[in-house]
Amino acid sequence: MSDYSASPLLLQAEGLKLRFGGIIAADGIDLSLHEGEHLAIIGPNGAGKTTFLNICTGYLRPQGGSVRFENREITAQPPRQITRLGIARAFQIPQLFAEQTVLENMLLAVSVRERHWNPLRNLHAVPERREMEGLLELVGCSDVRDRVASELPEGKRKLADIAIALALKPRVLLMDEPTSGVASADKFDVMETLMNALRQAKVSSVFVEHDMEMVSRYATRVAVWAQGKIQTTGAPEVVLNDPDVVRNVIGG
Amino acid sequence: MTPNFAVLALLDGIAYASLLFLVAVGLTLVFGVLGILNIAHGSLYAIGAYVAATLGQWLVANGYNPWLTFPALFAGATVVGIALGGMLERFLLQRIYKKDEVLQLLVTFAVFMILENLQRMIWGVQPYFMSTPLNLLGNISFLGINYTAYQVLFLPAAAIVVLFALRHFLRHTAIGAQILAVTEDREAATSIGINATRVYFMTFVIGACFAALGGALATPTTSLVTGMGANMIVLSFAVAATAGLGQIEGAAVSALMIGVARAFAVYLSPELEVIMPYLIMVLVLLVKPNGLFGKDTARKI
């Protein structure tokens, strides 16, 4: 497994603290992401992994600590601002706009990115249409381009959701269980397509994952999140064979 | 009832339905996107009417070309919609989007009361007339009935243009797509970088402009009196609720239903005129609680 610590630092969380009532989600989280990395976060349910994604995208304000993106403080900035800086997000349940076609979803995203404010411009006439069709090709969704989002099979919905995130030209993509809900026979196909698309678009990623097979195949680094702390971090082949991790997280 | 009366009632109904639609579509758009039932929508209607009338009277009194009263109607409406509507959203509604619906209703009701009295302070209680546009277009003959062209041609044309323009704007333009996206899921819309605050502002101003436009275009057909805003908000709520709140095309259909039924009531049994719209609303809602075109969960606008 190659070492990315020499490549530029993209995302850096330091000392994040957040508790909800009696539940401690984050109790001094330090986590960083370098360019080219695909960091998997694993850990027991309810440990705060999704909370981390929510803090990085500005939906939750940490009670302590900070998040920096490309050396710029983004803690508790508005989500929209953070999206514009280059952090995109894919949700556990894809957030496609249900009654629009896949292509229209893409065109909407790109017209927001390019700040198309001409109220008379037809959505289908935006100059980036070709670029969007290319992205759909990249994630293998060209065949469902003109289908209404709510009718798609789950695997395609996941991939279309990733394409929309990529339409925003992010540097980092945060994903919450990218293949959850996809039939198990298709999971690895979907993940393979997804990761290929990220590599080609040169987008680094952080993903929350429960499937250890997925983690060992696709993560360049793993962080174990439990009791509000990062218990350990390192290459998948090392972390996933760590007896402590096996006993506490994987073995359950 | 003679055939003549039937034609007359139908034309009355269509003219009235056109105005009703303009106001109701603004109300339903704002509700569909922002989730707020804006009682002050009635004030925007009334103030739009007063401003358009004042502007028109001033133009005529100062000897300008009377045809200028037409653009004056639209200019008055736009100014009221943008200035008053914009201020309402920016300084008041923006603070209460996350609050309880009852509170939102009370706040817009309070604004309505304040604006109602403001109208009395500015324009007094005597009726206002400004019928120049009506007189300029003259009469046309329809199945043996003479009727003002302004009411049977101009008003319906304005309503149809608004209906199709709004439809096109929402369904086919990039900004319309942003509005639909925020309506469907504000958080997801924000996560792809849409400025939901700006979308709300814009939608409210558009809705306010429609209310003011309804008032401005009503000006030549009626005398402006205090309390006209209250009448209109109740009626346009009946239209929006009959169609299903948030239904734009539906509002056109139910405005026509209510407008025509009300006009027929005037000729057949005048005592029913006032309750006719609510009778229709109640009957429709008894059978279809979400309105004629309303769905349980699907698209909100």
- Provide the ipTM: 0.79
B293, part of any domain? no
Q: Which of residues 279-298 of B touch A (CB under 8 A)?
A: 298
Question: Chain A residues with CB inside 8 Å of B177's CB?
Answer: 97, 100, 104, 107-108, 111, 123
Token couple for B106: 């009370």
Across the 301 residues of chain B, what is the mean pLDDT of every consecutive 10-residue run? 82 95 97 94 97 95 93 96 97 93 95 95 90 91 86 96 95 90 88 92 98 97 91 94 92 96 91 90 92 69 59
Q: What is the per-residue pLDDT across A203-219, written as a single tens digit (0 to 9) for each?
A: 999 999 999 999 999 99
A173 SS3 class: strand
**Closest residue by Cα to residue B53 from B260, B225, B245:** B225
Supply the range of the domain harboring residue B213: 25-225
B66, part of any domain? yes
* Model pLDDT, residue B270: 87
As a whole number of angstroms, the distance between CA A198 and CA A74 comes to 23
B34, part of any domain? yes
B179, part of any domain? yes
DSSP label at B225?
A: -
B12, part of any domain? no
As a whole number of angstroms, the distance between CA B82 and CA B77 comes to 9
Tell me what percent of the residues of chain A surpass a pLDDT of 90.
61
Mean pLDDT of A43-56: 88
* Model pLDDT, residue A46: 77
Torsion angle defined by CA atoms of residues A54, A58, A61 and A65, in that order, rounded to the nearest 10 degrees: 90
Q: Is A127 exposed, middle or buried, given 0-12, 13-18 or 19+ CB atoms closer than 10 A?
A: exposed
Give span(s): CATH 3.40.50.300, chain A. 6-86+173-251
CB pair distance less than 8 Å for A95 and B185: yes
B173 touches chain A (CB under 8 A): yes
User: Residue A200 — pLDDT band, cuts 50, 70, 90?
Assistant: very high
Spell B149-179 as b/e; 16+ CB within 10 A means b: ebbbebbbebbeebbeebeebbebbbbbbbb
B204, part of any domain? yes
User: Residue A91 — pLDDT band, cuts 50, 70, 90?
Assistant: confident
Tokens 């029913």 correspond to: B272
B174 touches chain A (CB under 8 A): yes
Pair A178, A90: CB distance under 8 Å: yes
CATH topology of domain A6-86+173-251: Rossmann fold (3.40.50)
* Model pLDDT, residue A247: 84
* Model pLDDT, residue B31: 94
Q: Give how far Cα B134 sits from Cα of B67, B70, B211, Å.
A: 11, 10, 20
A97 → closest Cβ in B176, B181, B193: B181
Q: Quickly count: other Cβ atoms within 10 Å of residue B131's Cβ.
A: 17
As a whole number of angstroms, the distance between CA B39 and CA B103 comes to 12
On the question of pLDDT at A61 being above 70, the answer is yes
Cα B67 from chain centre: 24
B65 touches chain A (CB under 8 A): no
Pair A56, A208: CB distance under 8 Å: no
B113, part of any domain? yes
Question: Structure pTM?
Answer: 0.87
As a whole number of angstroms, the distance between CA B57 and CA B72 comes to 10
Chain A interface disruption, residue of B171, B178, B191, most A CBs within 10 A: B191
> How many domains are there within chain B?
1
**Closest residue by Cα to residue B56 from B74, B30, B38:** B74
Token couple for B259: 């407008």
**Closest residue by Cα to residue A16 from A45, A46, A41, A53:** A53
B186 touches chain A (CB under 8 A): no
The answer for residues whose C-beta is within 8 angstroms of residue B4's C-beta and 6 or more apart is B144, B145
CB pair distance less than 8 Å for A80 and B176: no
A22 touches chain B (CB under 8 A): no
CB pair distance less than 8 Å for A164 and B192: yes
B71 SS3 class: helix
* Model pLDDT, residue A2: 64
- Chains A and B form CB pairs within 8 A to the count of 80
Pair B181, A108: CB distance under 8 Å: yes
Chain B interface disruption, residue of A82, A93, A123, A124, most B CBs within 10 A: A123
As a whole number of angstroms, the distance between CA B211 and CA B111 comes to 15
B181 touches chain A (CB under 8 A): yes
As a whole number of angstroms, the distance between CA B149 and CA B139 comes to 5
As a whole number of angstroms, the distance between CA B228 and CA B215 comes to 9
* Model pLDDT, residue B4: 81
Which residue type, as a one-letter code, is found at position B63? G
Mean pLDDT of A222-233: 92
- Separation in Å, CA of A251 to nearest CA in chain B: 35
A211 touches chain B (CB under 8 A): no
Q: Quickly count: other Cβ atoms within 10 Å of residue A67's Cβ.
A: 25
Q: Give how far Cα B193 sits from Cα of A66, A111, A242, B185, B241, Å.
A: 22, 10, 40, 13, 33
CB pair distance less than 8 Å for A168 and B190: no
- Separation in Å, CA of A66 to nearest CA in chain B: 20
* Model pLDDT, residue A98: 81
- In chain B, the residue whose alpha carbon lies closest to the alpha carbon of A97 is B181
* Model pLDDT, residue B296: 62
Pair A38, A195: CB distance under 8 Å: yes
As a whole number of angstroms, the distance between CA B37 and CA B30 comes to 7
A199 touches chain B (CB under 8 A): no
Q: Is A68 exposed, middle or buried, given 0-12, 13-18 or 19+ CB atoms closer than 10 A?
A: middle
**Closest residue by Cα to residue A117 from B193, B183, B178, B175:** B175
B172 touches chain A (CB under 8 A): yes
* Model pLDDT, residue A252: 52
| DSSP string over A117-172 | --TTSBGGG-TTHHHHHHHHHHTT-GGGTTSBGGGS-HHHHHHHHHHHHHHT--SE
Tokens 């019928």 correspond to: B131
**Closest residue by Cα to residue A141 from A186, A195, A102, A177:** A102
- In chain B, the residue whose alpha carbon lies closest to the alpha carbon of A120 is B173
B298, part of any domain? no
* Model pLDDT, residue A238: 93
The answer for residues whose C-beta is within 8 angstroms of residue A198's C-beta and 6 or more apart is A38, A162, A166, A173, A204, A205
* Model pLDDT, residue B185: 87
As a whole number of angstroms, the distance between CA B24 and CA B291 comes to 14
A119 → closest Cβ in B173, B188, B191: B173
B4 touches chain A (CB under 8 A): no
Chain B interface disruption, residue of A110, A111, A128, most B CBs within 10 A: A111
Tokens 């980036």 correspond to: A128
B231 touches chain A (CB under 8 A): no
**Closest residue by Cα to residue A82 from A93, A94, A92, A70:** A70
On the question of pLDDT at A1 being above 90, the answer is no
* Model pLDDT, residue B59: 95
